[in-house]
Amino acid sequence: MSAATVITRERALYLLGEMLRIRQFEDRCAQLYGEGRIRGFLHLYNGEEAVAVGAMQALEPGDAVVSTYRDHGHALARGLGMNPVMAELYGRRTGCSRGRGGSMHLFDAARRFYGGNGIVGGGLPLAVGLALAEKYRGTQALCACFFGEGAVAEGAFHESMNLAALWHLPVLFLCENNLYAMGTALALSEAQTEVHRKAAAYGMPGESVDGMDVLAVEAATRRAAARARAGEGPMLLEFRTYRFRGHSMFDAQLYRDKAEVEEWQKHGPIIGFTARMKTAGLLTEDDYQRLLATAIAEVEASVKFSEASPWEPVEDLLRYVCAEPEPA
């Protein structure tokens, strides 16, 4: 479908560059985790980059974004600087949440990025409310809500789909179906494994999309966004994707075969897009290498930035528990 999509060379370079930034960032994160420089839970997005990058193209600066604990890709694709994101993983004061959230809790008010949420399904009600605020105020903005297929089993999914549909709220329910909820395969946890079909129960359109194809993701999200902005209500998009690494850094991956992982890797979002764009004559190997080098340089700069960043002083431990006035 989207193979026929006509895009410019400039656009191809941009999309590939964004996916490479995320990939390089996270590969470096895994390394830093091994070295003990970043701690806590670290959920990597490798393999799912096309979803974040594709979906974000359909969003406007005034839209709200709700993410999950696997949030690095969403944050970077939404435009959070790599420095504050990396510094957050380091737990430094310069982090996008002043070091208080870590990997799972990236926030940015300026980009209306309402966070990585550590509770599976916990972000869905929040997204419904953010969309309610837009509708109540009569704006054209919407809320894009990312969640994994594991969240579909939570009661909050049902409640949120129902309320958003009932009140015709501008929510994009963006399900990243990577087939495993931690180590539990979809078929072991859901009676209906075609996630997009669940939308029908709420009188809402649902669509299954190739989550490894950044152009398909973008196109589908644009359609859903156009509906939402036109007041036609929410939509459920199921992006079929795969995570190449474990659930977190503690995952021995006993629940899936290496062969399965390798098969998916052959159809990875970066590899696939690069090949297609080369075939279409829009990209060369030199382009790829240049984008890769740029991404690596940005990542290294973010590591340096984070290493050099100060910690929050312990005296400030109790700050931000409640709102505080801006310092004079």
Partner 1 sequence: MSSTTITYREAVREGLREALRADPRTFLMGEDVGHYGGCFAVSKGLLAEFGGERIRDTPLSEATFVGAGIGAALGGVRPIVEIMTSNFSLLALDQIVNTAATLCHMSGGQFPVPLVIRIATGVGRQLAAQHSHSFEGWYAHVPGMRIVTPATVDDARGMLAPALASPDPVLIFEAISLYNMEGELTPGAASGDLDHARVMRPGRSLTMVTYSASLWRGLEAATTLASEGIEAEVIDLRTLRPLDTATILASVQRTHRLLVVDEGWRSGGISAEILARVAEQGFYDLDAPPARVCTEEVPIPYPRHLEEAALPNAARIVLAARELAGHAR
Report if residue 89 touches partner 1, rule: CB under 8 A: no
Measured from the CB atom, the residue of 156 and 277 that comes closer to partner 1 is: 156
Distance, CA of 246 to chain centre: 16
Measured from the CB atom, the residue of 106 and 216 that comes closer to partner 1 is: 106
Measured from the CB atom, the residue of 35 and 324 that comes closer to partner 1 is: 324
Residue from 307, 270, 243, 283 nearest 90 by CA: 307
Distance from C-alpha of 191 to C-alpha of 186, rounded to nearest angstrom: 9
Report if residue 122 touches partner 1, rule: CB under 8 A: yes
Q: How many residues does the chain have?
A: 328
Task: Please pick, from the candidates 133, 188, 271, 275, the single residue that binds partner 1 as defined by CB under 8 A.
Answer: 133
Report if residue 269 touches partner 1, rule: CB under 8 A: no
Min separation Cβ 320 and partner 1, Å: 4
Of 22-30, 213-221, 259-267, 314-322, which part binds partner 1 (CB under 8 A)? 314-322
Task: Please pick, from the candidates 16, 76, 131, 216, the single residue that binds partner 1 as defined by CB under 8 A.
Answer: 131
What Rg value do the Cα atoms of the chain yield, rounded? Answer: 19
Measured from the CB atom, the residue of 259 and 321 that comes closer to partner 1 is: 321
Q: Interface mask (CB under 8 A) for partner 1, residues 142-181, using x and -?
A: -x-----------xx--xx-xx--x---------------
Measured from the CB atom, the residue of 112 and 247 that comes closer to partner 1 is: 112
Q: Interface mask (CB under 8 A) for partner 1, residues 61-80, using x and -?
A: ---x-x--------------
Q: Interface mask (CB under 8 A) for partner 1, residues 15-44, using x and -?
A: ------------------------------
Min separation Cβ 239 and partner 1, Å: 22
Measured from the CB atom, the residue of 181 and 283 that comes closer to partner 1 is: 181
Report if residue 201 touches partner 1, rule: CB under 8 A: no
Measured from the CB atom, the residue of 59 and 131 that comes closer to partner 1 is: 131
How many residues touch partner 1 under the rule CB under 8 A: the total is 46
Min separation Cβ 130 and partner 1, Å: 4
Q: Interface mask (CB under 8 A) for partner 1, residues 92-121, using x and -?
A: ---xxxxxxx---x-xxx----xx-xxx--
For the chain, give the secondary structure using H, E and C.
CHHHCCCCHHHHHHHHHHHHHHHHHHHHHHHHHHCCCCCCCCCCCCCCHHHHHHHHCCCCCCCEEECCCCCHHHHHHHCCCHHHHHHHHCCCCCCCCCCCCCCCCCCECCCCECCCCCCCCCHHHHHHHHHHHHHHHCCCCCEEEEEEHHHHHCHHHHHHHHHHHHCCCCEEEEEEECCEECCEEHHHHCCCCCHHHHHHHHCCCEEEEECCCHHHHHHHHHHHHHHHHCCCCCEEEEEECCCCCCCCCCCCCCCCCHHHHHHHHHCCHHHHHHHHHHHCCCCCHHHHHHHHHHHHHHHHHHHHHHHCCCCCCHHHCCCCCCCCCCCC
Distance from C-alpha of 207 to C-alpha of 148, rounded to nearest angstrom: 15
Measured from the CB atom, the residue of 163 and 224 that comes closer to partner 1 is: 163
Contact (CB, 8 A) for 133 and 164? no
Min separation Cβ 15 and partner 1, Å: 29
Interacting residues toward partner 1 by CB under 8 A? 64, 66, 95-101, 105, 107-109, 114-115, 117-119, 122, 124-134, 136-137, 143, 155-156, 159-160, 162-163, 166, 319-324
